[in-house]
């Protein structure tokens, strides 16, 4: 059959080819969370310690008023999208009635030995619309078998229980910490393991994948989510989602053995998509200590951390430890509420939405890739340029001036992390003035400007990119004073 007239002219420009490593479906889902909570809770809450030795009497664990719903409600009001519970910390005490050891809630007085913190917390999380994740410490200072193959089998069994019996799991958190000495069933000695080989991580991760294919796996080195390299809740100003981890002394990396100097920035052009997670506690310690109640971070400090983590393409994992009642401390709750409220006030209105948008180049002159896509929300569509056009600008215009102090930009990360440098300008008195600039964008880049800006024209300039940019969001917001 002859070609239809005009068919050659109508050749549609397809989507840009993905650049470098791209996120998996489970990572894309995780990117939407951005902000979620950590709950450090165990016998340490009652002994006032950070790392239990492993010889704690299980009857010490006896929260007087544990209320998972109340905790979940507080977290939701604080803007959290999920919660990760320390189901077992280094001391080995299990917050669920595991079949692998007696060292658990089953041997405590709490709920007459019939309680299950993991059950109550996971159910409550879902009731409040929060995802649920599990922290299970690979290091176990209680287990007599620690250091032998039998312990690794036990660790996997604990994961199997948690990943089978508690519904969908959002994230599985593998800590790299290992201090060596412990109770170990009464041996009270130092046990050293080879961090690279002992846990045989690839096998454990296969197990996680088979039981919870949608869960992301966190460790110092991924495979899905990487540690940011500090416990202050801060990513590098330039933070790539791509990453090639290396061991502390070079060579292959594994949990507990990573050159953390590169964790905050990632690797430009790295071969894997392994975005960073910034973990930090609202208090100096990870567990609740009464003596630290005067040192709870303020809502302003948390906001600052939000911009230095989420605002740099990473996530913020904020620890808010339950107290001895099994509730969040009222001081922490007040801070959480103020933090969540401030985020809502800032991001509720997007001033870009009411603008008229023009661009220096639109891919194939097609509606599919027009610059308006950046301000129309939804996130699935994006502005892109023709192949080979790696510098481009889009201008937003309003009839009446707008006032803002926050710029939020997102790339269409399904196509990889593309942009390397960008600038944001505003038109004032007939001249363009640079008000913000940056490097990596990725899932999210937030610029906090130097005070309020009033203008009726804003320009986004992509100034360096190896390939055509693909921008899914350009938002303008006003953070209250």
The residue (of 25 and 177) whose beta carbon lies closer to ligand FUL is 177
| CA-to-CA dists, residue 89 to 52, 100, 117, 237, 279, angstroms | 8, 15, 14, 31, 16
Enter the tokens of residue 432. Answer: 């363009």
> Least separation, in Å, of the C-beta of 135 and ligand FUL?
7
The residue (of 273 and 286) whose beta carbon lies closer to ligand FUL is 286
> Least separation, in Å, of the C-beta of 477 and ligand FUL?
31
Distance CA 337, CA 14 (A): 45
Contact predicate 299/339, CB 8 Å: yes
Distance CA 474, CA 353 (A): 9
Distance CA 84, CA 321 (A): 11
> Least separation, in Å, of the C-beta of 332 and ligand FUL?
17
> Least separation, in Å, of the C-beta of 250 and ligand FUL?
22
Enter the tokens of residue 152. Answer: 């690794």
Q: How far is C-alpha 431 from the geometric centre of its chain's CA atoms?
A: 39
The residue (of 177 and 353) whose beta carbon lies closer to ligand FUL is 177
Whose CA is closest to 327, among 175, 91, 170, 124?
A: 124
> Least separation, in Å, of the C-beta of 140 and ligand FUL?
13
| CA-to-CA dists, residue 321 to 75, 326, 439, 461, angstroms | 11, 9, 35, 43
The residue (of 177 and 434) whose beta carbon lies closer to ligand FUL is 177
The residue (of 278 and 352) whose beta carbon lies closer to ligand FUL is 278
The residue (of 253 and 352) whose beta carbon lies closer to ligand FUL is 253
The residue (of 155 and 240) whose beta carbon lies closer to ligand FUL is 155
Work out whether the CA dihedral 388, 393, 396, 402 comes out positive or negative: positive
> Least separation, in Å, of the C-beta of 279 and ligand FUL?
5
Distance CA 412, CA 29 (A): 13
> Least separation, in Å, of the C-beta of 101 and ligand FUL?
19
Q: Which DSSP helix (H) or strand (E) runs through 127?
A: helix 117-127
The residue (of 50 and 73) whose beta carbon lies closer to ligand FUL is 50
The DSSP result for 31-54, as a single string, is: HTT-EEEEE--STHHHHT-SS--S
Identify the residue whose tokens are 């620890």.
Answer: 319
The residue (of 120 and 175) whose beta carbon lies closer to ligand FUL is 175
Q: Where are any strands of DSSP class E within 19-128?
A: 35-39, 82-88
> Least separation, in Å, of the C-beta of 448 and ligand FUL?
27
Q: Which DSSP helix (H) or strand (E) runs through 434?
A: strand 431-438
Contact predicate 155/142, CB 8 Å: no
Enter the tokens of residue 11. Answer: 């050749």
The residue (of 322 and 475) whose beta carbon lies closer to ligand FUL is 322
- 178: which residues sit within 8 A by CB, 6+ positions away? 138, 139, 193, 195, 256
> Least separation, in Å, of the C-beta of 180 and ligand FUL?
13
List interacting residues with ligand FUL (CB under 6 A): 50, 175, 177, 279, 286
The residue (of 178 and 455) whose beta carbon lies closer to ligand FUL is 178
- 106: which residues sit within 8 A by CB, 6+ positions away? 97, 98, 113, 114
> Least separation, in Å, of the C-beta of 231 and ligand FUL?
6
- Which residue of this chain has its Cβ atom nearest to ligand FUL in the complex? 177
- Phi, psi torsion values for 452, nearest 5 degrees: -70, 145
> Least separation, in Å, of the C-beta of 407 and ligand FUL?
32
Distance CA 100, CA 104 (A): 9
């Amino acid at each position: 059959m002859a070609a239809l007239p005009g068919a050659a002219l109508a050749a549609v420009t397809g989507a840009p080819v993905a650049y470098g490593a791209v996120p998996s479906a489970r990572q894309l889902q995780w990117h939407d969370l951005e902000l979620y909570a950590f709950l450090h809770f165990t016998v340490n809450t009652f002994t006032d310690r950070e790392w239990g030795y492993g010889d704690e009497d299980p009857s010490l664990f006896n929260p007087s008023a544990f209320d998972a719903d109340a905790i979940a409600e507080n977290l939701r009001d604080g803007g959290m999208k999920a919660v990760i519970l320390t189901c077992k910390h280094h001391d080995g005490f299990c917050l669920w009635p595991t079949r692998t050891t007696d060292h658990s809630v089953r041997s405590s007085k709490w709920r007459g030995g019939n309680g299950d913190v993991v059950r109550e917390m996971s159910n409550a999380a879902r009731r409040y619309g929060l995802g649920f994740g599990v922290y299970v410490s690979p290091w176990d200072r209680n287990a007599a078998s620690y250091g032998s193959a039998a312990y690794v089998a036990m660790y996997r069994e604990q994961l199997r229980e948690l990943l089978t019996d508690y519904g969908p799991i959002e994230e599985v958190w593998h800590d790299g910490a290992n201090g060596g000495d412990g109770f170990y069933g009464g041996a009270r000695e130092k046990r050293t393991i080879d961090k690279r080989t002992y846990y045989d991580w690839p096998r454990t991760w296969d197990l996680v994948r088979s039981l919870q294919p949608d869960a992301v796996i966190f460790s110092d080195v991924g495979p899905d989510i990487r540690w940011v390299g500090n416990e202050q809740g801060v990513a590098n100003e330039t933070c790539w989602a791509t990453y090639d981890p290396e061991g502390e002394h070079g060579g292959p990396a594994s949990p507990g053995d990573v050159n953390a100097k590169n964790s905050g920035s990632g690797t430009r052009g790295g071969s894997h998509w392994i975005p960073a997670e910034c973990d930090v506690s609202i208090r100096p310690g990870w567990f609740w200590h009464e003596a630290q109640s005067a040192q709870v971070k303020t809502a302003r400090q948390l906001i600052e951390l939000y911009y230095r983590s989420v605002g740099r393409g990473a996530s913020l994992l904020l620890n808010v430890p339950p107290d001895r009642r099994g509730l969040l401390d009222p001081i922490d709750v007040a801070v959480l509420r103020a933090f969540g409220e401030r985020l809502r006030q800032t991001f509720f209105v997007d001033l870009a939405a009411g603008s008229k948008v023009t661009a220096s180049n639109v891919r194939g002159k097609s509606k599919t890739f027009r610059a308006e896509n950046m301000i129309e929300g939804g996130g699935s569509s994006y502005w892109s340029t023709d192949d080979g056009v790696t510098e481009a600008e889009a201008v937003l215009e309003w009839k009446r001036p707008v006032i803002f102090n926050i710029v939020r930009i997102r790339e269409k990360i399904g196509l990889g992390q593309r942009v390397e440098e960008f600038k944001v300008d505003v038109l004032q008195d007939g001249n363009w003035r640079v008000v913000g600039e940056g490097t990596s964008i990725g899932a999210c880049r937030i610029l906090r400007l130097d005070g309020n800006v009033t203008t009726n024209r804003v320009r986004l300039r992509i100034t360096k990119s190896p390939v055509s940019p693909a921008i899914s969001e350009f938002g303008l917001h006003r953070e209250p004073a």
